[in-house]
């Protein structure tokens, strides 16, 4: 079977449906005691001797306007396992042309990452290994980009990503760290797939950074980063104290930009830099290639707090 390693996107304006989800984890009894949802900033009953870090997270997903009914093809989950886990997978939409539901692979991949966290097996505290095991356990046909970030309570955030889901750390009003997208060529990211020709966990970009209390983490699918500039992320976050509201605001900003054909988005700037040009009618009018990129938009905002 030919592997559709491209992203189809059909610009169209349409009312948006706001939807967010997170999956619970099947943890061991001991782990279950430690588990608590990351939906608020309340201090833990664990009362550690020295300050340990975790994050409060807010999530927001806005499906592509044409995929509202099925909820889009992004999948994600968050957990308070250890210091906290954030994971996003973005299904490659080209599979729809082969009568494959592109949302199945990323959903199963995320479910498998979630299930594996409960195992005490060696390597499950390593996001790259976790991605490899989850990929091996995924039987759906399809492909996806993926990012998994795991916070240890000592403040070390381990990140592994394959493709163009991303993560940024904002510290004191500035972008302190960004993952870099991996791609074969413009609009064709590295991806895990049901087909043997795909990338594997070994292709993941792996990062490890030390977080501080007060840092903000923004994780998302390319639907966020193709449509919102870094400086917009920083200024949008400054207006919110609540992580859920911040995630919603960033997703709405990305969504508005994605449907604005006049907005000079990160996506259109990148397209021009790769030699893509505006349609002929625009060129005749002296206009350049602009516009956002309609896509599923997943945003997860994490605020680093001490336990
Ligand atoms: Mn996407």
Are the C-beta atoms of residues 107 and 143 closer than 8 Å to each other? no
pLDDT per position as a tens digit, 148-170: 999 999 999 999 999 999 999 99
Query: Residue 39: what pLDDT?
Result: 37
Domains recognised in the chain with CATH numbers: 29-220+296-306 (3.60.40.10)
Q: Is the pLDDT of residue 9 over 80?
A: no
- Ligand 1: centre distance to CA 76 (Å): 12
- Ligand 1: centre distance to CA 7 (Å): 8
- Ligand 1: centre distance to CA 141 (Å): 18
pLDDT per position as a tens digit, 81-126: 999 999 999 999 999 999 999 999 999 999 999 999 877 777 788 9
Are the C-beta atoms of residues 228 and 62 closer than 8 Å to each other? no
Q: Is the pLDDT of residue 20 over 50?
A: no
- Ligand 1: centre distance to CA 295 (Å): 5
Bridge partners, 74 (sequence order)? 90
Nearest Cα to Cα of residue 203 among 164, 162, 167, 150: 162
- Ligand 1: centre distance to CA 43 (Å): 35
pLDDT per position as a tens digit, 254-298: 999 999 999 999 999 999 998 888 888 877 877 888 899 999 999
- Ligand 1: centre distance to CA 204 (Å): 18
- Ligand 1: centre distance to CA 20 (Å): 16
Q: Is the pLDDT of residue 6 over 80?
A: no
| Distances 213 to 52, 134, 217, 296 between C-alpha atoms, Å | 9, 30, 11, 30
Query: Residue 281: what pLDDT?
Result: 80
pLDDT per position as a tens digit, 36-73: 333 333 444 555 555 899 999 999 999 999 999 999 99
- Ligand 1: centre distance to CA 6 (Å): 11
Greater pLDDT, 10 or 259: 259
| Residue 139 zone, left/alpha/beta (φ > 0; ψ -120 to 50; rest) | alpha
Give the whole-angstrom CA distance, residue 197 versus residue 125.
27
pLDDT per position as a tens digit, 222-254: 999 999 999 999 999 999 999 999 999 999 999
- Ligand 1: centre distance to CA 171 (Å): 26
DSSP 8-state code for residue 289? P
pLDDT per position as a tens digit, 176-221: 999 999 999 998 999 999 998 889 999 999 999 999 999 999 999 9
Are the C-beta atoms of residues 199 and 191 closer than 8 Å to each other? yes
Instruction: Please state whether beta strands 53-62 and 297-306 pair in parallel, antiparallel, or not at all (unpaired).
Output: antiparallel
Greater pLDDT, 98 or 13: 98
């Amino acid at each position: 079977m030919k592997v559709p390693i491209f992203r189809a996107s059909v610009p169209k304006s349409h009312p948006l449906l706001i939807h967010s989800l997170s999956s619970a984890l099947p943890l061991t009894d001991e782990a279950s005691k430690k588990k608590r949802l990351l939906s608020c900033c309340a201090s833990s009953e664990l009362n550690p001797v020295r300050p340990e870090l975790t994050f409060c997270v807010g999530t927001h997903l806005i499906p592509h306007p044409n995929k509202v009914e099925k909820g889009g093809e992004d999948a994600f989950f968050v957990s308070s396992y250890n210091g906290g886990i954030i994971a996003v997978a973005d299904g490659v939409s080209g599979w729809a042309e082969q009568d494959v539901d592109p949302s199945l692979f990323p959903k199963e991949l995320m479910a498998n990452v979630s299930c594996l966290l409960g195992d005490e097996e060696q390597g499950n505290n390593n996001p790259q290994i976790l991605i490899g095991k989850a990929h091996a356990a995924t039987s759906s046909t399809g492909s996806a980009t993926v990012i998994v970030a795991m916070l240890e309570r000592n403040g070390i955030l381990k990140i592994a990503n394959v493709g163009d889901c991303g993560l940024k750390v904002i510290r004191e009003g500035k972008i302190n760290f960004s993952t870099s997208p991996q791609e074969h060529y413009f609009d064709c990211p590295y991806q895990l797939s049901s087909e043997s020709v795909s990338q594997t966990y070994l292709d993941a970009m792996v990062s490890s950074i030390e977080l501080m209390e007060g840092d903000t983490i923004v994780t998302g699918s390319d639907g966020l980063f193709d449509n919102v500039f870094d400086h917009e992320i920083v200024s949008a976050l400054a207006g919110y104290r609540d992580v859920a509201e911040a995630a919603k605001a960033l997703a709405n900003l990305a969504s508005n930009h994605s449907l604005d054909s006049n907005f000079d988005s990160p996506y259109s700037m990148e397209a021009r830099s790769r030699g893509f040009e505006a349609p002929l009618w625009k060129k005749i009018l002296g206009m350049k290639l602009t516009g956002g990129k309609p896509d599923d938009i997943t945003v997860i905002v994490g605020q680093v707090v001490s336990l």
